[in-house]
Amino acid sequence: MIWAVTAAIVGASLYGASEGRKARMSAEKQQKQALQQQKVDAEAMRTEVAKQTAEYAKQSTSLQQQSDIARQQFDAAQLQYKENKLAMEQKSKEVQALADEERRKAAASEASALKARTRGGRRALLSQERMTPELGVESVALSPGMRLQ
């Protein structure tokens, strides 16, 4: 009976060891599969990250080009604005000078008319011949071909 008990103990030990070995091998196999799956997932993630990085680099380049174009357009618009401003200032000065000249001429004309009115009498003709009430204008003062009858 000792033999039977010993055999039972040895059998149970062998069975336990066999089951333990099977469990350990199964765990190792599952662990290898999990590691393999992690490697596959990590490689897929690296590939995806590389794709996203390349796409972001393209977008960055495109945005940089758009920014450069916008900056050039802005600089050109500013230059055009400055040129237009200078041209308008110059034109404004010219118009102001013409207006001042016209005002000066009008003021001088008004002043001479006022002077002529306030000094009394008739204003003399600009020619050397003078108008006399008795004789009128002499024929010499008229241009050739014109005669008073």
Q: Smallest Cα–Cα separation from 138: which of 63, 59, 146?
A: 146
The predicted-structure confidence for 16-64, as pLDDT tens digits, reads as follows: 888 888 999 999 999 999 999 999 999 999 999 999 999 999 999 999 9
> What residues have CB less than 8 Å from 15, skipping those under 6 apart?
none
DSSP state of 147: -
Burial class from Cβ neighbours inside 10 Å (0-12, 13-18, 19+) for residue 141 reads middle
Element of type H or E holding 137 = none
Say how far apart CA 103 and CA 122 lie, in whole Å: 26
The predicted-structure confidence for 53-96, as pLDDT tens digits, reads as follows: 999 999 999 999 999 999 999 999 999 999 999 999 999 999 99
Q: Are 9 and 1 in contact (CB under 8 A)?
A: no
pLDDT band, very low/low/confident/very high, at 128 (cuts 50, 70, 90): very low
Q: Are 127 and 141 in contact (CB under 8 A)?
A: yes
